[in-house]
Structure 1
Amino acid sequence: MKDAPHPIQSVLVANRGEIACRVLRACNEMGLESIAIRSDADYGALHTEVADSVVHLEGETLADTYLNIDAILAAARSSGADAIHPGYGFLSERAAFARAVQEAGLIWIGPPAEAIESMGDKVTARRRMMDAGVPVIPGQEIIDSDDEDRLIDALVAAATEVDYPLLLKASAGGGGKGMRAVHEPKYLQQEFLAARREAQTAFGDGTVYIERLLDGSRHIEVQILADLHGSTVHLFERECSIQRRHQKVVEEAPSPVLDESTRLAMGDAAVAAAAAVDYAGAGTVE
């Protein structure tokens, strides 16, 4: 919750489905007026039944409704909402949305726009974490160039520094898009160009960097909570290694593979990561 100037009495939830239902129910339990939004296609959806009131956003596409910042701000104004909660997905990780909410005089229930910008771009996030002394996977940025020969030379130099096997990763976005494993140098250039194309198509940003590929590693996430007064705590970890197409299938807590010293070290690193970007609210460090 960023810079709340007065007590919140009403919250517009800028999301739909199960995500919105959970936030709306929490508002109801806290005695806050809950406000939902819906597209034409979501008439009668469960989240509209849970809310105290509903604002209709004209249109059926996501671009016209749940991704339409101007329409959501207009809905907040017309409904008299004090605050906007983005849920997760959709606009929740868009710094521009967080900033627009605050500029409209509304309370943003989420991390600061600056933190979203810092952590939403993986190259920037790695720099911030290294500056803060937070451990990261060994990796290298690829010096971009309009000259393809120079670009490939920079790619080869970065790959040589990291060593094989390695992982090409899109700096923007997530979900496994723009990501390629490379086990031998002869496949490096073709996989790099493929990763760039996919990242550009998916996120509008073709920036790719290199990380060392850790075969047999586990996917562990640490949950953190931070307030506006500089206090950050971790709520321990979730084991998320069972995945399909880079999407988690099962999450388990606590992780059965961590010893106590590793668990505590990861928790401390997650708190340091959040503090490094002045994070506020709930978050996850992977």
Structure 2
Amino acid sequence: MNRAELADFLRRGRARLEPSDVGLTAGARRRTPGLRREEVAALVGMSVDYYTRLEQARGPRPSRQMLGALARALRLTGDERDHLFHLVGEEPPRAGSASSHIRPGLLLILDRLHDAPALVMTDYGDVLAQNAMSAALTGETGPGRNLVRRFFTDPRARALCPPEDLPELARSHVANLRAVTAARPDDPAPAALVAELRSTSEEFAHLWESHEVAVRRSATKRFLHPTVGLLELDCEFLLSSGDNQLLLVHTARPGTESHERLQLLRVVGLQNMAPAAGQR
């Protein structure tokens, strides 16, 4: 691990970004350009002390997951992400699998979607980043979870949907996951998720045996939000070419009750969300 080179690379990456580049407000006047250390730490999901020690060339070796989060927080290109991994003595993520690295342009789009719940995820459901509205809608923030696993194993996820919608949602999750595993038989991540859920969820195992196949596309989904009530939202899945990633955006049709409730969610649902929203 080249601590000196890593420290310099992190400092330069932080200095070239402005708060607006990562969806943050500038706040009080800044004496120096770039993001503050505490802002980068919040975006990554690490302590300020940990990040400070990395910039001072005295920090411990970051994990691969932490390196991926640093690359996203600093809006690194693919080549810059690979360089970051090499500085720590790690091999960059291999090609042919769903990458956890989000292109800076895709993150820029996510940061600009202030009034619509949106997130970036792999095609098999791993959340890579989400905006504050998405966290307000689902009650969870930050990367590191899988939407398919959560649906089949967490009652709180199922409580977000009307009971009569659950069977079709379950079929959709399983059918999409089967399509992904067939398309990328050499990618261990989707296959491992299938094996895990077949052993832990009878519902998933039963649906898996039905051998339905359907790739995620645009749809309408209903949410039961505990504060604003029932929301009927249009879901658009935008594919990031070559990366096996999806930008999922939820919108409500103007003039509908759901549109009014979504605007209400933006007001009341984002309270106390500032620290959480920064953990993308």
Output the TM-score relative to the length of structure 1: 0.31
| Structure exhibiting the larger radius of gyration computed from Cα positions | 1
- In terms of fraction of residues, the more strand-rich structure is 1
**Bigger relative contact order, structure 1 or 2 (CA pairs below 8 A, ≥6 apart):** 2
Output the TM-score relative to the length of structure 2: 0.31
- In terms of fraction of residues, the more helix-rich structure is 2
